[in-house]
Amino acid sequence: MPNRARKLLLAAVSLICALLLGSYAFQISRDFVAAGLTAVLLNLAFAGSALFVVAVVLSFIRARLSAAAAILAVASGLPLYFDFAMPLLFRRIFYGEDAGTAWYWYLAGNPRAYLGLLTLAAAVVLAARELLAGRGRG
């Protein structure tokens, strides 16, 4: 894939991730009273959305910095999506609660969170590809 197309694809995926993550975090902050861990997750998600916007701007100036910003943004937005996509598993890992339920109930989340996880996965793949593309240069 040519360098320009790779940069354009990274910018497009970063913009989609910024819009999805920002709107999802805003909807959750409007619908729920954010306290404790949820407030921290929302702050991380808003920071991740801002980092995705930085990645979009940097994608045509410095592609490797854009890829690094995108990976940091994914790391910031992943916990919020993980909490709402797999709530029982999230609570078991971070709170130590064991609901004693069957394994398939751990995936009982909402489809919008699953869509967000898919876009974050695409962003990680494209950002890692961009980071590794310039590795052989002098």
Residue bearing the bigger pLDDT, 103 or 75 = 75
Helix (H) or strand (E) holding 115: helix 111-133
Q: What is the pLDDT of residue 100?
A: 59
pLDDT at 35: 72
Task: Tell me if the pTM is above 0.85.
Answer: no
Helix (H) or strand (E) holding 126: helix 111-133
Indicate the CATH number for domain 3-77+111-133. Answer: 1.20.120
Q: Euclidean distance between the first and final Cα of the chain, in Å?
A: 20
Q: Domain spans of the chain? A: 3-77+111-133
User: Would you state the structure tokens that stand for residue 55, as one six-digit string?
Assistant: 């990645």
For residues 137 and 20, which has the higher predicted lDDT (pLDDT)?
A: 20
Q: What is the C-alpha separation between 90 and 79, in angstroms, rounded?
A: 9
Mean pLDDT, rounded, for 26-43: 79
Q: Considering the chain, what percentage of its residues have pLDDT values greater than 70?
A: 83
CB atoms within 10 A of CB 53: 18
